Each structure stands twice: as C-alpha cells, then as structure tokens.
Amino acid sequence: MKNSQKSQPVTERSLFSWVRSSSWKLQIALLLIIIVTVFARVIPLEMQKKIINESIFLKKTDLLVIYCGIYLAAVLVSTVFKYLTNVVQTILGQRALAEMRGAVYHHILTLPVNFYRRTQPGMVVSALVTELAAAGDFVGMAIAVPVTNILTLLAFGGYLFWLHPVLAAVSLSIYPIVLILVPRLQARTNRANKERVDITRHLSDKIGESISGIHEIHTNGTYTIENRKYDAIVEKLKKIRIVWNLYRFGVKTTNNFLNALSPFLIFIIGGYLAINGQLALGALVAFLSAQEKLYDPWKELLDFYQAYQDAAVRYRRVMEYFDAAPEHVVAPEDRPPYELDGSIEVQDLSFYTDSGIRLLDRVSFSLAPGKHMAVVGFSGSGKSTLALCLNQLYRYQSGQVMIGGREVSALTKKDVVQNVGTVSQSPFIFEGTIEENLLYSCSALDAFTEPEGAPTLDDMIAALQQAGIFVDVLRFGLDMHLAQRDHADLVDRIIHIREAFRDQFGEHVHDLIEFFDEKAYLYHSSVLDNIVFGATDHPEFSVANLSRNEYFLAFLDKADLTRPLLSLGAEVAKQVVDILGNLPHDAIFFEQSPILPDELEAYTLLAERLKRRRLHQLSDEDRQRLLDAALRFSPGKHKMVALPSILESLILEGRALFREKVDEDYPGIVSFYDAADYIPSETILNNILFGKMKSQHPKAQEKITQSAIQLLIQADLLETILKIGMQFRVGSKGDRLSGGQRQKLAIARVFLKAPKILIMDEATSALDNKSQSRIQNLLEHHWKGRSTVISIAHRLDIIKNYDYVAVMKSGKIGELGSYDELIQKKGLLYELVHGRA
C-alpha cells in the first residue's frame, strides 16, 4: 500500500488514504481501548438500577457500598481509557498532518516556475498551515470517534431494549427524522464552506501581495487603494462566514431540539408505566440515564460528520489547486546524473506564454565547451527568457536545446543542476548563515554528498575572494561577539593581537582611534562612557538605561558629579537652542549636538525656564533632561561647548570610584576596560582596537580593518575569523546584507559549484563599476576554457572580450559574432553601442 502511495501523486490521494496508511499497531491498540471504554460506560447504568431497586429499596447497606464501588471503578476506567483514546487519536492525527504537509510541500517545490507566476505566497502558506490542519485532525479521529460512538449507541440502545422494548422504540423514533433533516442542512453548509475556503484563500493572496509589494505601496502612497481592495474581500468573507455559521448552528439546533423531545416522551410514557406498576422505579431512572447518555455519542457523531465535511472540502480544495505535474523528472532512478562536456547547441528554439505571446522565435546558436557568449538587446527582447529555457526553468514549446549532446527537455532536474549554474539579476538569499547560503548550490550535487567531496574551507575562501565578498565576511567575523568560555584560546590570542596592534599601528592610526587609557579622558566618547569605562550586556546598566538607573544616580550624588553635570547640561541646552533653534530639524544639522532634532522643542522651553530659575529650582523632569544632555556630551564631536577642566578631573576620579563600587555591589556586571582582559560584550574588532574610532568614514574603517587583517594573517587567525564571519545570519531574504552583498554571495556560491555551464543573467547589475569590472576580469581570465559562459549583459562596455556577442531583438537573434566583427558591420550592436553613448 505504502509503495503504491509513494508512486501516486499526492494530489490524487483521497482523504481516507491517509487513514489507511497510518500505523496499524496504533489502530489496533485504539480499537481495544475503545471496546474497554464502551463496556465501562454501560456498567454505571446497570449500577444505578441496582442501587435504587436492591440497595435503597431493600435498605441493604452492604450492597450499596459494593454497587457504588463498581460504579466508581467503571467511571475511573472509562475516564482513563477515554484519555488514552484522545492521546492515540492526537498522535495519529499529528503524524498524518506532518506527512500530509511534507508530501504536499515536496510536490509544490517540483511544480513549474510558471505555476508560481499565478500563485501568491500567501495562498501556499494558508493551504499548508491552515487548510490541511482540519484534514490532519480528521485523520486522527477517523476511526476513534465513529467506532467509539457507534458502539456506545449500540450498547446504550441494546440496554434500553433490554430494560423496556416499547419505551426504547419510542425513545429512538426521533433519530430517523434527524437522519433525514441533518444531511440536507449539511449540504448547504458545505456549499457555504467551499465559498468560505475560496474567499479565505483570496484574502491570503491579497495579504501576501501587499506584503511583497510594500515598497510600491509606500512609494506611491496607495494606502487607500489597497485598503479598499482588502476591505472588499473581508466584507465578502464576513457575509459568507455568517451564512456558513448559521447553517452549522441550524444543524446543531435541529439535532438538539429533536433530541430534547426524547425525555419528554419517556416522562409521559415511562411515568404512566411506573405509576401503574408496569415499570420499576430503578429501571425508569436507569432508562432516563441511558437515554440522556445516548445523546452524547449521537452529538459526537454529528460533530464528527461536520468535521469530516469541513476537512473534506478543505482537503479537496488544496489538492485541486496544486493538481499540476512537474515538467521534468527530479532525479534519474537507475543511473547517476550525467557529467556533460559543456557544449551548447540551440536550434529553432521558440517559447510563448499561455496567452500566446511569442517571447523566443526560432533562436539558433552553438557554443563549444569553454567558450563565452554575451547576449545583449533592448528590454523585452527575450534575453532572460533564453536563459530560463537553457537552465530548464521554462519548458520551450518547439526547437531543440542540446547540452553535452543531450536534449535539455529530456534531462532530469538533477542532470541540469549537476552541469549548469545560474546567477540571476535578483538572486534569492535564504534565511540562515553565510556558509549555508554559500554551500546551497553544491548541496544537491552527488560530488558533495560524501565528506571527501565536500568543499573545503580553502575552496570557500577562494569563491568568496573571487566574488569580492571576502572582506565583507571577514568584517562580519570581526563584528561578532565571542563567548569567552567557548573560545578561551582564541580570546588569549586576540589580546596578544591587541598589544601588537598598538605597537605596530598605534602611530599609523592615531588620528583615527582614541585608545583606551584608564588614566586619560576619552574626548571622542560620551561623558557616560568615560564614567563607566566599560561595557555590559545587562539591560539596567546599558548606556540607554543607565541615566535613569537609581543606583547610578545615587552614585553621581556620592561622587559629587550631579551638580557639575547639570551645569554642563544647561550650557549644552543654551548653546544648542541658540545655534540650532531656527534651523530646519534635519539630522545633518544635529550631527555635532548631543540633543536630537525631536527633542529641540522641549529643550527650547527648558532654556527659557533656565533664564528665570536656578538648577535646584527645576523640576525632576527638567533635571533629568539636563542630565541626559550632559551624559551624551562628547567633547571631540560636540564642539559647540567646551568641557570644563574641573569636570574632566571629577569624571576621572568618579571613574575609579564607580569601578570600585560596582565590583563591590554587582561583581561581574560590567566588563571594565583593562588592556590585559578580553571584553565579552564588545566585538572582536573592538577588542583588538581597544579604543574608540574618531571617525565613521568608510575609508577610515577600511584602513583600520586592513591593519587588523594584517595582524590576523601574522597570527594565523585569518581563517578562524573568516569561519566565524561565515556564521553571520543574513536575515529573512538576506535583508541584513546590502543588495551588492547579496549579489556577490550568489556569485560566490555558483563559483564554488564550478559548473560546466555558467549562466549569468545580468548577475552584476547591483554591483558598483569597480566590482563589475573585477567579476568580468575573473570570468575572462579564470573561467575562460573551464566553463561555458552565457552572460546576459546590461553594460555594453564589458562585452568586448567575449568570444561571441548575440544581439537579440523581438525574440530573435538579430546578429551573432565577435564584438569587433559586429561593430564593423554597423548593424544592431553598433546601434546599441552608439545609441547609448
């Protein structure tokens, strides 16, 4: 069964097939548990009768104790086994849901690229996460609920007939009516449910589209338009959900009403029989209890029926939506992937869209292994479509594409992946580390499945260097924090590099770095940093919160720093208001101010109050504001106010006092700057520098980084820091990387793969001119003869050294030859070059 299901497309599987493929051992255990549970649920009914007729009526206490004990034991057994039923049911359901989601997800990934041109991500997420959940829950209950409740109904019904056949027949007479009415109402519920599922999917699509296009929405300010679209869908969903729920409640209400008639009939007929001595009182009580309990399994069966209908609707909708076949076999079954030679032969290749628009029209060319061809042309000429057909992302309708003498449309995905590498104009970077993304192109190759075939660190370093992202990754490593206990040896070596850095480059970078010195004031650090002279990860002692920390404020009083700092804050406030008060509140004007633009209004009012009041007359809020300005003040950056020499001396004395007090009261909470100690809360680079950068200019940072790199090379730590940098997490879609870094990382991963055929689809469009030229030189000198390269180019100044240049126009290759040949012909390429010039 399982083998046939594996070969059967998941979209063709029925909902019940997941029930059949679940664990038979658990199913058998579930049936045994159910049988015990049903038997235990009937016993209390008989005990009720015996307690009344034999114990209470005959006044036998011993029988009362026995029957009550049996009653309690049966209830306990029923409760425990009911819980076990729920446990097994949950395990079965969640296993089925996980398998279902996995199978659908695996199927979705193999669907053609064109499928995703009409599919919103939100719809896929909704289908996998929400809509399949009901199907998984149903699989869990598919055996437990109906078997339990049908057996319970049969047991209770049989017990009723055993007590009094006529009364039982009257009691059960309402159920045929329920069986007629409920399915009719349920059919209408199903129709509303289908519409609800479709509208919910449409809503998911709309949300996904808005999130994906958020830049356009913000750029164009189209909030009203998008809100109107969204509100219209929500309004539709609201109406259909009301209808759906009304039908659902109608089913339950009808069932509840008809079931409520049954006790009425029992009271009328059973009461009459009891009054006339034809039915024992205990039997009547047991009958009423059994009839009341009969409603529970019936209600659960009704809920199960509704759950099945809901799950079936959702399941069918999901499978119908994804009922598409992959265009290519994923992997060969009876052979390893082909190792092709890199030759490309294209004959009369045509491709057109579903609407009939022809994007490629009988394109033909051939490339020998190792040759390079640039493809140029105006936007919409078919350049990228050609690339997508070559790497099997688009299935062309006519013509031939031969790679290594084999037809691309007949190759498996793994054959193509083994031999072709592609870098697109907008490459996708997955959430994870630099290393995971770097190895992504290689992970599917057979050559890398064995440890000895996996890329080495040297291979990865070479790829990073070739793509021009090596220094970026190294900088990521230098900007990482180390856990001292996990990297004890590395920490010691970094401290030695710190000493070497000051010895070798101290004079060289003196104008760029202010080195930490316990006895010297740091003019390029804030007053607060000078007092603390250390770093911490503790939130209450962070720079952002320390100015409002009661412990720190008490320390300022004790160190006689509060009043001079308030005086400094008052001077800063007056000067900033005088100088910047009438200027626009742009950040550029406030670069040399410790007061932020959005704070200027408050400080302007405070400056007015300072003209009429002394410092001790100010409110606590005003004093706090002055203290904030003073603690942020950095003499080397905020030059509109001079730091009083007396305050500088007090701060240096306060620094020593603060360290002494914190070490006594909160030992280890602050890592004080000490040339012999590593600072865990600072980055690796800051630990090497052991100082504060005076400038954030990129050239200054590059100069310092290069000096640190030189020392890392000398200490044989470059690879170690690079490995740390490769663990940098790039964020969702690589959003912690710049556009250029994302494109370089994509180029590095295809260089690491080293495919026989390399397709560059405007792969350097996000790079600066220098980086583009670097990549182009690498292609010309390193990859010439190694890989066949097809480069979709947007810059015409980089195509001169290609073996061939193909100029495309309206889906055709208008001319093909070397750059010099085509320029001399003064045809399409000549027009492109000189037209753009």
Q: What is the pLDDT of residues 255-294, one digit of tens each?
A: 666 666 666 666 666 676 777 666 666 566 666 666 666 6
Paired tokens of 540: 């209450």
Question: Whole-prediction pTM value?
Answer: 0.75
Percent of the chain with pLDDT over 70: 90
92-128 b/e (C-beta count within 10 Å ≥ 16 → b): bbebbbebbbebbeebbeeeeeeeeeebbebbbebbb
CATH number of 1-164+297-326: 1.20.1560.10
Q: CA–CA distance from 232 to each of 225, 227, 228, 235 (Å)?
A: 11, 8, 6, 5
**Poorest-confidence range of 72-86, 167-181, 511-525?**
167-181
H helix runs in 391-507, sequence order? 413-419, 434-438, 457-467, 470-478, 488-505
List alpha helices for 760-814, DSSP H: 769-781
User: Are 1-164+297-326 and 344-471+728-834 in the same CATH fold?
Assistant: no
pLDDT at 177: 67
Give residue 596's pLDDT.
86
Q: Which residue has the higher pLDDT, 177 or 826?
A: 826
Fold of 344-471+728-834: Rossmann fold (3.40.50)
> What is the pLDDT confidence band of residue 128, given thresholds at 50, 70 and 90?
confident
How many whole angstroms separate alpha carbon 663 and alpha carbon 657?
Answer: 10
A 10 A CB-CB count for 242 gives 11
pLDDT of residue 179: 67
Predicted pLDDT at 265: 63
- Beta-carbon contacts of 763 under 8 Å, excluding residues fewer than 6 positions away, are 423, 424, 425, 427, 743, 746, 747, 775, 791
Kindly tell me the number of DSSP H helices and DSSP E strands found in the chain. 33, 14
Domain segments of the chain as ranges: 1-164+297-326, 165-278, 344-471+728-834, 480-516+676-724, 526-672
Separation between Cα atoms, residue 753 and residue 758, nearest integer Å = 10
If pLDDT is split at 50, 70 and 90, which confidence band does 837 have?
Answer: very low
The string of pLDDT tens digits covering residues 771-814 is: 888 888 898 888 888 999 999 988 888 888 899 999 999 899 99
Least confident of 539-553, 579-593, 660-674: 579-593
Q: Whole-angstrom Cα distance, residue 564 to residue 199?
A: 67
State residue 750's pLDDT score. Answer: 92
Average pLDDT over residues 148-169: 74
Predicted confidence (pLDDT) at residue 175 exceeds the cutoff of 70: no
Cross-strand partners of 402:
345, 407
pLDDT tens per residue across span 609-640: 988 888 888 898 999 999 999 999 999 888 88
pLDDT beyond 70 at 7:
no
446, pLDDT greater than 60 = no
237 token code pair: 């969903």
Q: Residue 263: what pLDDT? A: 67
When pLDDT is averaged across residues 581-593 and rounded to a whole number, the result is 78
Q: What confidence score (pLDDT) does residue 598 get?
A: 86
Residue 793's nearest CA partner among 812, 767, 755 is 767
A 10 A CB-CB count for 183 gives 12
pLDDT for the residue numbered 1 = 42
